[in-house]
Amino acid sequence: MSSTTIELRGLRVLGSHGVLAEERSQLQPFELDIDLTLVDGAGDVDAIDDTVDYGRVAEKAAQIVRQSSHHLLESLAGEVAEALLEEPLLDSVTVAVRKLRPPVPLDLASAGVRTTRRRDGQRT
């Protein structure tokens, strides 16, 4: 049994997510890291048809951040993960979402969450 994971790091997208009204009324930067674990055997040969197009995956994730609106990062990460898991060669997806300007009165670089969805329906 083999396991291949495609890693996407630092996808930056503007969106309007948050609990506070000002967070939802104007665009703010979010950063995503995405791990795509392929089903057993996918990606073992040098053919694009046997893997996942990470450009398409990144665009799908960016579109969700741009077009949806969530109060919680947990909910946003879950929506992205569920949408990406629709790719047929994926066994699991892990999505980390970071808010790069969290609304706290401290010097905090980011606040974020990480969620994993598996094709068998398990969540972590």
Instruction: State which amino acid sits at residue 117.
Output: R
**What residues contact residue 107 under an 8 Å CB cut-off, 6+ apart?**
none
| H, E, C per residue of 54-107 | HHHHHHHHHHHHHHCCCCCHHHHHHHHHHHHCCCCCEEEEEEEEEECCCCCCCC
45 burial type by CB count under 10 A (0-12 exposed, 13-18 middle, 19+ buried): exposed
Q: Is 99 a catalytic residue?
A: yes
Checking DSSP bridges between strand 90-99 and strand 111-118, what pairing results, if any? antiparallel
Which of 17, 70, 98, 99 is labelled catalytic? 99
Catalytic residues: 99
